[in-house]
Every structure is written in structure tokens, then in C-alpha cells.
A = this chain, B = another copy of it.
Amino acid sequence: MKSKLDEEFERLCREKGLRLTGPRRIILDVLAKASDHPDAIEVHRRASLIDPSIAIATVYRTVRLLEDSGILESHAFGDGRARYETADREHHDHLINIETGDVIEFRSDEIERLQEGIARAHGFEIVSHRLEIFVKPLKGGKRKKTSRDRR
């Protein structure tokens, strides 16, 4: 099946004279299917399962291309590497469980609204923002299911 991302990527290629190559298709596919937040090495590992000849340099070049076109978002969650997720869903922020490395997505319109107000009060408009909350489990606390992330 051709995803919304594929279409957007095709449109982008046509628009900018870029080529829709095998490696690019595979890397985009890996990212579209990822429900976690893989780093470049992990993306390369997964892409290599489909075509073992893909070079890590191509992964880096492709994620940069996708990021620059707004198809991908990159995050720096503390460890040195950048981690990626497709930007096809609505904006959200992250809770990071520091004991497991799991990342949980959340969204708060109230917080977004407050941010708008703060920026405006300083004479700015928001271009982007990031909110990351590093957490640990409450002792006897209730737990909601988490979307597991690779470390």
C-alpha cells in the first residue's frame, strides 16, 4: 500500500528534481513503519534487512533530506544520537522513562496555548518547540500501557 508519506515524498521529488531511488524508498518505508523512535544506526539496521548494500551515509543523507522537507522530525533525547519519527501525525511531546528509555507521546492543548501566550508576550511567534519530560515510575502507582522503544 502506498502511504500518505510515499505520496508526499513523490511529490517532493518531482518538485525538486530529486530521484526516487531504491535506498530512499526503503529508508522511508522503514521510517513509516516504525512506531518507535529509532536512531540512524537502527534505521540502517532495519533498512539493511531489506537491502544489505545500503550504506549508513545514505541513511544520514536521506534522513536529512526528509527532515529538511518536513517529512521527518528528529529529536535529541539526551543520549548523543538523533532519533527520528515521521511528521505525518499531529504534533505531540514526549515523556521519557529514564529507567527503561521508553518514550511515551502526549499532547496538551493547554500547554500549547500557554506557550503561544509566552512567545507573544516577548514579541515572538513560535516556529517550533520541544517539551520533554524525563520521568520515573511512581512507586505503587497505576501504570498505563507504554509504546516500547528500543534503547
A132 in contact with B133 (CB, 8 Å): no
Copies of the polypeptide in the assembly: 2
B141 in contact with A134 (CB, 8 Å): no
CB distance from A149 to the nearest CB of B (A): 14
In angstroms, Cα B144 to Cα A33, docked, is 45
A124 in contact with B108 (CB, 8 Å): no
B110 in contact with A114 (CB, 8 Å): yes
Q: Quick one: closest B residue to A146, CB to CB?
A: B122
B97 in contact with A124 (CB, 8 Å): yes
Q: How many residues of chain A have a CB within 8 Å of chain B?
A: 36
The digit string for A102-126, where 1 denotes a CB below 8 A from any CB of B, is 0010101011001100111111111
- With A111-B114, A114-B108, A118-B95 as contacts: A134 and B126 at CB distance below 8 Å: yes
B residues less than 8 Å from A129 (CB atoms): 131-134
The digit string for A139-151, where 1 denotes a CB below 8 A from any CB of B, is 0011110000000
Known: A98-B127, A122-B144. 4 other contacts (CB 8 A): A106-B122, A123-B142, A123-B144, A127-B136
